[in-house]
């Protein structure tokens, strides 16, 4: 009995020792050095850098705007930069940035050392793009950009007098009017919009840091015009993008209905028997006259080749474009042609080809816009232009998923909604 108790005791003792050993075991690795907590605490704090990567603790920073008739050399000279350094900067800038594009109102920054010596100049070429000129230890010129932040908002309303007034009443930038006009340029005559027509738009607002810089892309839109509802959806596919209707047909047409960025007032319609305002004779008027200020840009109604660009009697300065074997257009009474516009030149739809004037027989500044189909004049205001190519079948499934999502967002917008609704 005593031997049995002794044996049990020995077993318990060995078990306790084993458990104790396991609890204190440590795994070691060769060549492992212990962590020095003091070294970790001594890691230097990162210097505070501004948007342009400059350590603001090391410089006295002056921010200002370019004034009228100011140039880079005048600005740098005013801040104590010598003529030799300015000359070297101007030489280095060649091929990197166009200094002639400095315009009043653009922002800039000057960085100076503690002794007041200027070493860096940052020029904001736009809201997002800037150029940094540094001439401290060595001369460097670098272009950069500030990332944009995009938020999505929406607006809807009913037209009482004009689309521009309706959107202004919502507190939204007038740029939205231009963007909508671009989307619907081939399908909606904005001059014929009437009281009671409705509109909706889901669009992007662009921000740089905490500053609003304008309207971005329109993601989807709707126009209810004379009882007809037209929706447009932005879609990116492959390396291309554009606006399409719900069936994947392009919102673009082979020809623009109005060759302007916006829809000016029609001062004289297409007619087979119009009383000429100067000659006081009844004769056909195979065009549509758009009254607009002298110098207003005129756009090519479609892709094509310029066949005429000259002064021609009562037509004044005229440009004609052959778009294909079916369509050609003519633009009369221009004040001048856009640079490079001459016979044989290929132009793209929406490209500026000239500017409104009143050359030839004209009582005031306007454009007489003429459209020909198979060499027969037709009314560009009422003609139903064929659409451009739509989406190929391989993208339709992806497109329809996007349409479903955007339709739900558009459906949530009431035409009588008083305020913009931030979507996300």
Domain boundary among 117, 145, 173: 145
Q: Does 239 share its domain with 178?
A: yes
Q: Does 247 share its domain with 396?
A: yes
Query: Bigger pLDDT: 330 or 325?
Result: 330
58 close to 89: Cβ distance less than 8 angstroms: no
- Given a cut of 60, whether residue 419 has pLDDT beyond it is no
Tell me the pLDDT band of 386, cut-offs 50, 70 and 90. confident
- Given a cut of 50, whether residue 2 has pLDDT beyond it is no
What CATH number is given to the structural domain containing 287? 2.70.70.10
Residue 281 to residues 164, 278, 287, 315, 367, Cα–Cα distance (Å): 37, 8, 17, 16, 20
Secondary structure of residue 278 in the 3-state scheme: coil
Q: Is residue 11 part of a domain?
A: no
Range of 218's domain?
149-252+391-422
Q: Does 274 share its domain with 323?
A: yes
pLDDT in tens, 6-20: 455 555 555 554 545
Question: What integer pLDDT is reported at residue 191 of this predicted model?
Answer: 67
Q: Does 296 share its domain with 363?
A: yes
Alpha-carbon gap, residue 347 to 338, rounded angstroms = 11
What CATH number is given to the structural domain containing 92? 3.10.450.350
Question: What integer pLDDT is reported at residue 193 of this predicted model?
Answer: 81
Domain boundary among 100, 125, 145: 145
Alpha-carbon gap, residue 13 to 401, rounded angstroms = 73
Q: Does 311 share its domain with 241?
A: no
Q: Is residue 31 part of a domain?
A: no
In DSSP terms, 240 is beta-bridged to 237
Q: Does 275 share its domain with 342?
A: yes
Q: What is the DSSP letter of 100?
A: G
Residues contacting residue 99 through CB under 8 Å, at least 6 positions apart: 71, 72, 90, 93
Q: Does 369 share its domain with 272?
A: yes
235 close to 262: Cβ distance less than 8 angstroms: no
Tell me the pLDDT band of 142, cut-offs 50, 70 and 90. very high
Phi-psi group of 175: left, alpha or beta (phi > 0 → left; psi -120 to 50 → alpha; rest → beta): alpha
Q: Does 155 share its domain with 140?
A: no
pLDDT in tens, 153-171: 999 999 998 888 999 999 9
Q: Is residue 26 part of a domain?
A: no
Q: Does 235 share its domain with 183?
A: yes
Q: Does 61 share its domain with 99?
A: yes
Q: Does 197 share its domain with 177?
A: yes
Mean pLDDT calculated for residue range 228-252: 91
pLDDT in tens, 288-316: 999 999 999 999 999 999 999 999 999 99
Alpha-carbon gap, residue 352 to 337, rounded angstroms = 9
Q: Is residue 41 part of a domain?
A: no
Q: Is residue 357 part of a domain?
A: yes
Q: Is residue 226 part of a domain?
A: yes
Q: Does 276 share its domain with 334?
A: yes
HEC states along 321-342? EECCCCEEEEEEEEEEECCCCC
- DSSP states along 150-200: EEEEEEEEE-SS-HHHHHHHTT--THHHHHHHHHTTTT--GGG--TT-EEE
Q: Is residue 212 part of a domain?
A: yes
pLDDT in tens, 73-131: 999 999 999 999 999 999 999 989 999 999 999 999 999 999 999 999 999 999 899 99
Alpha-carbon gap, residue 215 to 203, rounded angstroms = 7
Please give the distance of CA 318 from its chain centroid, rounded to a whole number: 31
Domain total of the chain: 3
Measure the N-to-C terminal CA separation of the chain; round to a whole number of Å: 84
* Residue 28 backbone dihedrals phi, psi, to 5 degrees: -115, 155
Q: Is residue 37 part of a domain?
A: no
């Amino acid at each position: 009995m005593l031997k049995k108790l002794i044996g049990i005791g020995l077993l318990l003792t060995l078990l306790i020792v084993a458990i104790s050993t396991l609890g204190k075991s440590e795994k070691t690795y060769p060549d492992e050095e212990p962590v020095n907590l003091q070294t970790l605490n001594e890691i230097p704090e990162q210097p505070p850098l501004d948007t342009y990567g400059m350590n603001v603790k090391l410089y006295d920073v002056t921010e200002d705007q370019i004034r009228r008739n100011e140039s880079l050399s005048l600005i740098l000279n005013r801040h104590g930069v010598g003529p030799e350094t300015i000359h070297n900067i101007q030489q280095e800038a060649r091929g990197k940035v166009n200094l002639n594009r400095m315009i009043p109102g653009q922002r800039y920054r000057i960085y100076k050392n503690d002794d007041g010596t200027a070493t860096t100049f940052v020029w904001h070429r736009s809201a997002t793009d800037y150029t940094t000129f540094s001439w401290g230890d060595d001369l460097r010129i670098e272009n950069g950009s500030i990332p944009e932040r995009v938020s999505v908002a929406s607006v809807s309303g009913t037209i009482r007098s004009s689309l521009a007034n309706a959107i202004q009443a919502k507190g939204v930038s007038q740029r939205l009017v231009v963007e909508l006009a671009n989307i619907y340029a081939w399908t909606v005559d904005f001059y014929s919009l009437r009281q009671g027509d409705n509109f909706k738009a889901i669009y992007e607002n662009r921000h740089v840091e905490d500053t609003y810089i304008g309207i971005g892309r329109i993601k989807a839109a709707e126009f209810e015009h004379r009882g007809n509802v037209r929706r447009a959806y932005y879609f990116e596919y492959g390396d291309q993008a554009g606006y399409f209707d719900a069936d994947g047909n392009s919102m673009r047409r082979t020809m623009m209905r109005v060759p302007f960025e916006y829809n000016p007032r029609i001062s004289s319609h297409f007619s087979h028997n119009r009383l000429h305002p100067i000659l006081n004779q009844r004769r056909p008027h195979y065009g549509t006259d758009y009254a607009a200020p002298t110098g207003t840009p005129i756009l090519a109604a479609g892709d094509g080749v310029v066949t005429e660009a000259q002064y021609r009697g009562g037509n004044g300065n005229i440009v004609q474009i052959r778009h294909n074997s079916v369509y050609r257009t003519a633009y009369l009474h221009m004040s001048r042609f856009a640079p490079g516009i001459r016979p044989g030149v290929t132009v793209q739809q929406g490209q500026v080809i000239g500017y409104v004037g009143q050359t030839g027989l004209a009582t005031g500044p306007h454009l007489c816009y003429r459209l020909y189909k198979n060499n027969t004049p037709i009314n560009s205001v009422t003609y139903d232009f064929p659409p451009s190519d739509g989406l190929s079948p391989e993208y339709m499934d992806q497109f329809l998923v996007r349409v479903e999502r955007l339709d739900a967002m558009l459906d949530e917008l009431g035409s009588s909604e008083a305020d913009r609704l931030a979507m996300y």
